Structure 1
Amino acid sequence: MSSSPKSIVPIAGFSAPRIFQFVRHAFTNFDWKALYVPTDLESRGFPLDQLDNDKFHNYAYAKDIKDMWMALRKFVSSVLRDGTYYPDDSAVAADAQIQDWCNEMRSEQGAGMKKFPESISTLDDLIDMVTMCIHIAAAQHTAVNYLQQYYQTFVPNKPSALFSPLPASLSQLESYAESDLMAALPLEAKREWLLMAQIPYLLSRQVEQDGNIVTYAATASKNEDTIIAAAGRELSANLDILASVFLENGRKLDDQNAGYNVLAPDQLAKAIVI
């Protein structure tokens, strides 16, 4: 956002100060634990044990992100549960650096994120939080950033702003016609249309091979630390399995006009690349 305000502001539909206010509000109110993948899916009506039901066959992302979360969590757990770093919950609770991390994330002088946990006192809590950090920087960022072209280059699919007022009452909504929809799209705003189409394209370059999670796992498997090396080999094996599973989930989608490879491991960044 801060690196490209001149291109974002003209197509956002509201002023720069309001944009930064909106982003700041979203950042400071980010609810870490509520957005853990399993918790988020369950809270939105997608029970983990029912995702393979036929009624969810078009929600490949839910299946894929759940499995990727589990693979990442297993990797983190394999490292932290070895006993070398944290033998038990009391070792986590006694770690002053973990508490300092929580304090800094919540402090107004730090991140100012009030919904970050006040403390992390169990090994399970630490594993979940580390998994969340990797998830945000790897899987979630890849799905949201690198694949914007997948959804947004066809402007009517996801315009960044509408160019006529939204219906203000139920009666207006019920009488909303195709002509109203066309008036809301930037059909006459050619500069904004071009920006809406081109910015997602420019932000959607494919992840380089040396920056994807498959390469990371292969590198980790050769780490001098035997604990990390074993976890890396396990992650590599799990990613191989997930690559096939994700392909199959994509084949079950009704829409087969474009291959669904949103979380394909070989296209998934190991971390945010700027």
Structure 2
Amino acid sequence: MAESLSIEDNPTLEYFTMFVDAEYQVVSNIAVALSRDFNHLAGNLLQPLVDQLAGLKNTVDNVLRVAEPILKSPVAQPLDPAARGVEHLLVQTLDAALRTLDQIRDDIFKALRKMFDSPGLGNFGTVEGVERYRQLYATMPVPAIADSFHDDLVFARMRVAGPNPMVLRKVSGALPANFPLDNKGYQSVMGAGDSLSGAISQGRLYLVDYAELGPAASESATYKLLTGPGHNTAPLAAFAVPAGGGELEPVAIQCGQDPAKHVMFLRPGPGDTDGYWGWQMAKTVVHTADFNHHEMFSHLARTHLVSEAFSVATRRHLAANHPLAVLLTPHFEGSLWINQLATYLILAPETTGDLIFASLLEDSIAATGQARLSWDFYEKMPPAEFAERGVDDKHLQYPYRDDALLIWDAIRGWAGEYVRTYYPSDADVQGDFELVAWADEIAQVGKIKGFSRIDSVDQLVDVVAMIIFTASAQHAAVNFPQKYLMEFMPFYSGMTAAPAPSGTAGHTESDWVRMLPCLLTSVAQLFVLDILGSVNYRPLGDYRTNTFPFANAINDPRIVGPGGPLDRFRAALREAENTIDDRNTRREPYVYLLPSGIPTSINV
């Protein structure tokens, strides 16, 4: 990661206004929600911070109001006196606002730590159950998933259209030895007309396995001063497409890697009331592991930190007017800033990551680092990645795959036209000494696995497409579900407050509720995930600079001329949007790869 940030790495005032507004909304909501139970503490500790945020928001809004006519003027130029005055005002306001926001954010967590100092204060208990979590949404709407999160089809759908659709893998040949699902168990779920061997031979059986979590999924409880005991394991779960076709369905769950320690849970039938709550507990174990894998691996490590390596190498080795720097720099806008923010908002002691995850902070960080280093650049290109997991067979209804490939094709077409404008031959690629130094930096210093020097135009097209896809579409697919699917704690959370169930029957709703995280963990999760899922800035295809007056970043008429490559790229994105809209009329809507909702860069 970059050691420090330059002034040009700060976000624009427009972006910052969106970020402050998102933070203001969620902190205000939390203050109102907590005041219901802890009125004196919440009023004394949180309300002044809400007022500070409101004042900061008003200041930034006022500056934008004054600046807007000049910012939008087609004749505004960097040397124009009025424009220079606005630019100076923007920089000064932004610098002061950033310092103020940092202090407010720090004070919020100090206030929350004070509020939950007393043992038991954050315990949700079992009487009201899920209703206590719904009450955290005092001024914001309760996520729609709160009305259907116990549904088994919703549980299965998360594997193909949820926040982390990167783990599902087709079973080829046989199930792993440590997951002893037999035909009798399979048929008890999927019916006597189907069979385990038939599902495997026909490519209809799939597995998720969270063994990769390693030290972040300790079998034993971890204890933290502020959140008490926390649990996370590395479960396995089987899913199948019915013999007659249809949506993916859950079959079985094993709550850890060792079958001698973890019983097999089979999806209960409609009349099996004795097994219902044990099954719900097992699903919670899976979603807790998936939350950890999503946040540390699929999200932070394999989009944010990957993109940072390319951003730093581009700054170091490509001149500002190098054609690849011109193209890629907008795709790195805000990345270094948000990554640095993560180091003290998520990865610092007693901040959100420490409060949300069960694992010790050092284990979470170590697992994230290993996940980043194990990510292979060429193997993770969408077509190769889907084929490697065996999920490229169209009989599997897989919205993420279908939409990701659509966006990948549009991006690769754009990358191809752009690259071939400047590199007519393989010799041109090989002879670019800046490109050679850039590739060496990425492979050797950035430690991007599988990366190497680039020898051909076709290879360079793939490289550019993958960098853009990771920074835009892939990040959007894992980032924005956080707000709508992951911030509601009974559905997804980073820890459970009780261990995985040891038996399949005899559990009650109270047993399940006791697994859910404490109030402080829930507040931290709501705070950070709502903000991250609320800021959507500069859509894919928007190529402007990050400095006032935010001129077009690409000015080569061969690229931006009427009907040229950039126009064709934008047209391809509009066509993809129409295709996805049409698909969503024939499936459960999946909206996270609609081009209009994909930011150009990882800026949140």
Q: Which residue of 1 aligns with 2:105?
A: none
Q: Which residue of 2 aligns with 1:130?
A: 464
Distance 1:178 1:215, change over 3 A: farther
Q: Which has the higher strand share?
A: 2
User: Is it true that 1:203 corresponds to 2:543 in the alignment?
Assistant: no
User: Is it true that 1:69 corresponds to 2:408 in the alignment?
Assistant: yes
Amino acid corresponding to residue 262 of structure 1 in structure 2? Y
Measure the CA separation in 2 of the matches of 1:222 and 1:237: 19
Q: Which residue of 1 aligns with 2:431?
A: 94
**Structure 1 residue 100: Cα displacement:** 1.6
Number of positions where the alignment pairs a residue of Structure 1 with one of Structure 2: 250
Distance 1:239 1:79, change over 3 A: same
Distance 1:112 1:177, change over 3 A: farther
Measure the CA separation in 1 of the matches of 2:522 and 2:556: 52
**Structure 1 residue 87: Cα displacement:** 1.8
Amino acid corresponding to residue 526 of structure 2 in structure 1? A
Amino acid corresponding to residue 355 of structure 2 in structure 1? P
Consecutive unaligned residues of structure 2, counting only runs of 5 or more, are 1-341, 545-549
Instruction: Select which of 248, 261, 267 maps to 2:597.
Output: 267
- Normalising by structure 2, we get a TM-score of 0.39
Amino acid corresponding to residue 138 of structure 1 in structure 2? S
Assess if the C-alpha contact under 8 Å between 2:487 and 2:529 holds in 1. Answer: yes
Q: Which residue of 2 aligns with 1:184?
A: 515
Q: Which has the larger radius of gyration?
A: 2
**Structure 1 residue 154: Cα displacement:** 2.1
User: Is it true that 1:150 corresponds to 2:481 in the alignment?
Assistant: no
User: Is it true that 1:3 corresponds to 2:348 in the alignment?
Assistant: no
User: Is it true that 1:231 corresponds to 2:565 in the alignment?
Assistant: yes
Measure the CA separation in 2 of the matches of 1:247 and 1:175: 43
**Structure 1 residue 62: Cα displacement:** 1.0
Per-residue CA deviations over 1:230-269 (Å, capped at 9, x if unaligned) read 110111110111111111222222x4xxx53211111110
- RMSD between superposed Cα atoms in Å: 2.6
Measure the CA separation in 2 of the matches of 1:86 and 1:176: 67
Assess if the C-alpha contact under 8 Å between 1:221 and 1:233 holds in 2. Answer: no
**Structure 1 residue 116: Cα displacement:** 3.5
**Structure 1 residue 174: Cα displacement:** 5.4
Instruction: Select which of 405, 413, 418 maps to 1:79.
Output: 418
3-state SS of 2:344 partner:
coil
Instruction: Tell which has more relative contact order, 1 or 2 (C-alpha 8 A, sep 6+).
Output: 1
Assess if the C-alpha contact under 8 Å between 2:543 and 2:553 holds in 1. Answer: no
**Identical amino acids, percent of aligned pairs:** 22
Distance 1:155 1:252, change over 3 A: farther
Measure the CA separation in 2 of the matches of 1:176 and 1:129: 54
3-state SS of 2:424 partner:
coil
Measure the CA separation in 1 of the matches of 2:415 and 2:551: 12
Amino acid corresponding to residue 228 of structure 1 in structure 2? I
Q: Which residue of 2 aligns with 1:251?
A: 585
Distance 1:158 1:213, change over 3 A: same
Measure the CA separation in 1 of the matches of 2:430 and 2:499: 53
Measure the CA separation in 1 of the matches of 2:596 and 2:369: 33
Consecutive unaligned residues of structure 1, counting only runs of 5 or more, are none
Measure the CA separation in 2 of the matches of 1:139 and 1:73: 12
- Normalising by structure 1, we get a TM-score of 0.81
Measure the CA separation in 1 of the matches of 2:599 and 2:440: 29
Q: Which residue of 2 aligns with 1:56?
A: 396
Q: Which residue of 2 aligns with 1:24?
A: 369
Distance 1:173 1:80, change over 3 A: farther
3-state SS of 1:251 partner:
coil
Per-residue CA deviations over 1:108-166 (Å, capped at 9, x if unaligned) read xx2233x1422221111111111111111111112222331122022232211222334
Is the deviation greater in 233-242 or in 23-32? 23-32
**Structure 1 residue 177: Cα displacement:** 5.0
Q: Where do 4+ consecutive residues of structure 1 move more than 6 Å?
A: 219-222
**Structure 1 residue 178: Cα displacement:** 5.8
Assess if the C-alpha contact under 8 Å between 1:152 and 1:159 holds in 2. Answer: yes
Assess if the C-alpha contact under 8 Å between 2:354 and 2:360 holds in 1. Answer: yes
Q: Which residue of 1 aligns with 2:310?
A: none
Q: Which has the higher helix share?
A: 1
**Structure 1 residue 173: Cα displacement:** 6.6
Per-residue CA deviations over 1:9-39 (Å, capped at 9, x if unaligned) read 1111112222221121112222111110111
